[in-house]
Homo-oligomer: A and B are copies of this chain.
């Protein structure tokens, strides 16, 4: 822990080890592997889906369910095409690209440093590049029975736009006054030219976004509030403080609609990178959609009768990025006293895919052990494993971040006690099988995890 965080974290071998562990244990692997994969798309296996779902449930619990002032929504991935004209995506959501006339490859015009020689040109190995052209990053599709241009639609590039188009309906049906927020978790798509860094930059990804609508006079106060609140969220996920930081945007980094912005950054093995953005989007979105839809999306203060367009403070989590950050932060190859080493994922119980593993010391003890597993399964995601030696079974659970292992042995039959082994310390204690649920509840959910820890 005394090592410099930048040095430790930017060790490339460590990232390879993690990627390999993720494939070997079925956490995350390339989509369509048997067809050679598809660049920028990933599948979450049995343990990966639990990890990601736990993160989403924790966010939903904190941001939506525990708050009186936030409502959830789940909108369609395909929205009306006018949505993306109003938002500016059709016109502006593009990267400048150049093509090589010889090899037909395409590159980002702002990333030409490392594109290598052209394989199709003799004499000179340089690419024969066209001038830069803008290339829209939205994924296009076609809806309806006809093949006319009017039926072009886009897969959403961000989940927030439908929050703006649904704003009036949700405000009216939920009878909220300003300030209040609307939150959504869902898939979004961007045709990234160079997907890279494992799941960090992919073409299909999941966002958890909150759009919080405030009176213009209160925007700065709420921006500050959400900065604090979102830092607390990431701290509560158990991130090492030295690998987490809040980086305010410089004025020249701000998006055209943004008045202020800050990124929550995590120190990945490949450097500091954004896992969440907090943006003061002003009244840009509601004003544009009012204009394009010909509908007034403004509100009237019931007391003062003042009419105004609310300002929007947005907090936008990359669920895949945060999942990856959790894995990077938790992963350790630990040298043990006996000269051996073990892989361990020191995941916070709230996100750990499996909360407890039940392991009979011998297959002969499977009946009572299965009974315990079935009881625990009513409360948490629990794994049962009866094959192989017990040390090896402990290691397999350490490697996927299971906080507790429960062993039923031959003495358990007589004294009604089981061995509870803790992942991080590897310490073991004997506790009564009858008190197991209460004991685990205290240790899994006690530390701020609340009931989202399942």
Residues of B within 8 A of A83 (CB): 32, 35
* Cβ-defined partner of A295 (8 Å) among B34, B142, B172, B187: B34
Size class of the A contact interface (CB-based, 8 Å): 35 or more
> A80 interface residue, CB < 8 Å from B?
yes
> A68 interface residue, CB < 8 Å from B?
yes
Residues of B within 8 A of A71 (CB): 45-46
Also in contact, A162 and B43, with CB within 8 A (given A106-B145, A135-B145, A143-B191): yes
Q: Is the CB of A203 within 8 A of B75?
A: no
Residues of B within 8 A of A142 (CB): 139-140, 191
Beta-carbon contacts of A426-443 to B below 8 Å, as 1s and 0s?
A: 000000000000000000
Q: Is the CB of A46 within 8 A of B170?
A: yes
Q: Considering the chains assembled together, what is the distance between the CA atoms of A189 and B107 in angstroms?
A: 31
Q: Is chain A's binding surface mostly helix, strand, loop or mixed?
A: mixed
> A450 interface residue, CB < 8 Å from B?
yes
Q: Is the CB of A26 within 8 A of B170?
A: yes
Q: Is the CB of B76 within 8 A of A49?
A: no
> A97 interface residue, CB < 8 Å from B?
yes
Nearest CB on B from A81, distance (A) = 8
Q: Is the CB of A79 within 8 A of B31?
A: yes
Of residues 68 through 95 on chain A, the ones whose CB sits less than 8 Å from some CB of chain B are 68, 71-80, 82-83
* Cβ-defined partner of A46 (8 Å) among B26, B50, B173, B297: B173
Also in contact, A33 and B106, with CB within 8 A (given A38-B153, A78-B204, A187-B187): no
* Cβ-defined partner of A45 (8 Å) among B48, B78, B173: B173
Known contacts A45-B174, A77-B187, A139-B141; 7 additional CB pairs below 8 A are A33-B169, A35-B165, A38-B78, A45-B166, A45-B170, A140-B142, A379-B451
Interface positions of A (Cβ within 8 A of B): 23-26, 29, 31-46, 48-50, 52-53, 65-66, 68, 71-80, 82-83, 97, 104-107, 135, 139-146, 153, 155, 162, 165-166, 168-170, 172-174, 187, 189, 191, 193, 203-204, 289, 292-293, 295, 297, 373, 377-379, 381, 384, 450-451, 454
20 A-B residue pairings within 8 Å (CB atoms)? A26-B172, A33-B165, A35-B82, A38-B76, A38-B78, A38-B79, A38-B153, A41-B76, A43-B73, A43-B166, A44-B73, A45-B71, A46-B173, A49-B72, A49-B73, A50-B72, A77-B187, A139-B143, A140-B141, A451-B454
